[in-house]
Amino acid sequence: MLPLVKERLANAAYPAVPLGSKLTLVQYGSSTLASTEPSGVPIVRMNNLQQDGWALDDLKYVTLPEKEVDSYRIELGDILFNRTNSKELVGKCEVFREPGKWVFASYLIRVRTNPLELDSQFASDFLNAPTGRLQIDCVSRQIVGMTNINSEEIRDFGIPLPPLPVQQELVAAMNAARALRQRQLAEAEALLGGFDTYLLATLGISTPANDGRRVFGVWMADAFQKGRISPEYFHPERLLTLRAIEEAGVRHERLGDLVDFVRQQIKTPSENYLSLGHVQSHTGELVASSETSEGNCFTFLAGDVLFMRLRPYLNKVYLAEADGCCSPEFHVLRVRDEAAIHADYLAVALRSKLMLLQTIHMMTGNTHPRLANEDVPDLILPVPPLAVQREVVAEVQRRRARARQLREAADAGWAAAKAAFEARLLGN
């Protein structure tokens, strides 16, 4: 333990104890191979535990014998630790409070506190505060590009232990700050994630109603003309979306006629590396992620648009604000003629429901659903006059600026709450 941490804990307002002395369970997760097919039970993986807490929009599932489900089932109030991840995220922990039947993967460690002595949320809040992170950084070590901690090191973490009523009082203050932060982040996300309503109204396009049909007819001649014997490709929802674009009175174009697909590869990634995990669904904003480069990358320039190849239902599209490199999970799109389409408008259009209702019916593959390279140029986009594009871009930039202000305020308030929480415990 660092001398600084030892000194802080020795001089704390309450006696410090090893975390392990107040635990009733410490357990590694299941190593069973998971699938995106929603069969079995959802399994929480290291990618689901991020800086902002739980990110459960990208789930996988496992089929386990009932005995193993019972063994790995997460109980409400359990704490899960990232035991293997990036330096920033290893040791990150959160209390799990999702209802239903969930299990956890082997890159996580589950601990359960004795509720009569240690509140699980109190323990998690302390270990995510600066002194808790210092302890984690002290013992974590890098192996084959990833950083690790083990269960014995988690047991040895020191934690000040006030009486349970004081723990609950501190947790209540943190929960209030957490709720405020979540409201600010939700407002920020709604500003950008809800942009579709504005875009569709501006373009005068209405998307078709939800169509859950599993049975529908396709002319054989159409299938041969398109070279596709894929029922999903001819799903009414996709065809009605294309019809809505064509009948709206707005010029529309194939994506391949508007952009170049840039495939300039490098073997060693630069600092500004982006994976799918770095791009927030539906908003196109960057977020922290533990994903690292595992091979060749594509380079991109400021103003290029990164459009996901894998798992298009996640709707991840990013307008590059600086040069960098990205995972081959993205297509790098470069506008061919700026007098025809604005790059910022292109990103908004590709992120819209008009694209999503096309791409979700064009996916191939079960384990890793993706868009086939030859299908992406055939996506149809509405391309209004430049004056309308500029109007759309101005609105999205206004919303983006406001969303970033809200995120900055949320981060500053949360940091202040952590500092106040820790000061109360450490007596400084």
Q: How confident is the model at residue 293 (pLDDT cuts 50, 70, 90)?
A: confident
Contact 135, 5 (CB under 8 A): yes
- Residue 1's pLDDT is what? 59
SS3 letters for 213-267?
A: CCCCCCCHHHHHHHCCCCHHHHCHHHHHHHHHHHCCCCCEEEHHHCEEEECCEEC
Q: Residue 277 and residue 292: Cα distance in Å, rounded?
A: 9
- Residue 427's pLDDT is what? 83
Annotate 391-412 with b (16+ C-beta within 10 A) or e (fewer): ebbeebeebbeebeebbeebee
What are 306-342's pLDDT values in tens digits? Answer: 999 988 999 999 999 999 999 999 999 999 999 999 9
Contact 274, 327 (CB under 8 A): yes
What are 383-393's pLDDT values in tens digits? Answer: 999 999 999 99
- Residue 50's pLDDT is what? 81
- Residue 290's pLDDT is what? 64
Q: Tell me the β-bridge partners of 297.
A: 266
What are 12-63's pLDDT values in tens digits? Answer: 999 999 999 999 999 999 999 999 888 999 999 998 988 778 989 889 999 9
Residue, of 221 and 343, whose pLDDT is higher: 343
Predicted TM-score (pTM) of this structure? 0.79
Domains of the chain: 3-161 (3.90.220.20), 190-396 (3.90.220.20)
What's the maximum distance between 2 C-alpha atoms anywhere in the chain?
80
Contact 320, 291 (CB under 8 A): no
Q: Residue 242 and residue 174: Cα distance in Å, rounded?
A: 48
